Amino acid sequence: MNSQADNGAKVATVGIGTKYQQALKDIKAEFGEPTTIDQQAIEFKNMTYHNFKFDLVIFKFKNDKLNEARFFMRAKNKIGADKKVEALSKELGKKHPLSEDYEDGSYFYKGGLSPKGIGHLFTISTAKRQGVWNAELTYGPF
């Protein structure tokens, strides 16, 4: 078993550093049938996680191991994305200590412990991607 997965860093019940085939089984068991599957990424649309509906979720793999998960909630504007970031931080802050920073007019949060033992497990931030504002929850990359 991979040492990164051994330290307990997880996205829901899916261990960071888990080999692709096992991660695929674990992801399906936790989240259901993905929208798209290939060796580099497993994608979902309209997934609920921590009581939030995410428009897009991508589990990414590097060297046959899960190393990143990205959750996107679209918003009409930056203010809407910032509100979703704040709500996400309150929910995830119930389970993980969070640090708060401010950049480009928005708060962003870091929490949990990286599977490498240094740094954070996840970040919660606001970003504009392909012309659309999003609240993003990102685990990794590790």
DSSP assignment of 20-58 equals HHHHHHHHHHHH-S-SEE-SSEEEEEEEEETTEEEEEEE
Q: What is the pLDDT of residue 116?
A: 81
Angstrom distance (rounded) from CA 86 to CA 12: 20
Q: What is the pLDDT of residue 73?
A: 98
Q: What is the pLDDT confidence band of residue 6, given thresholds at 50, 70 and 90?
A: very low
Q: What is the pLDDT confidence band of residue 7, given thresholds at 50, 70 and 90?
A: low
Least confident segment among 3-12, 23-32, 43-52, 70-79: 3-12
pLDDT at 49 over 50: yes
Q: What is the pLDDT of residue 122?
A: 96
Q: What is the pLDDT confidence band of residue 78, given thresholds at 50, 70 and 90?
A: very high
Domains: count for the chain: 1
pLDDT at 51 over 60: yes
Q: What is the pLDDT of residue 3?
A: 40
Whether 124 contacts 1, CB under 8 Å:
no
pLDDT at 141 over 80: yes
Whether 108 contacts 123, CB under 8 Å:
yes
Domain that holds residue 16: 3-139
- pTM given for the model: 0.91
pLDDT at 89 over 60: yes
9 in helix, strand or coil? Answer: coil
Q: What is the mean pLDDT of the chain?
A: 93
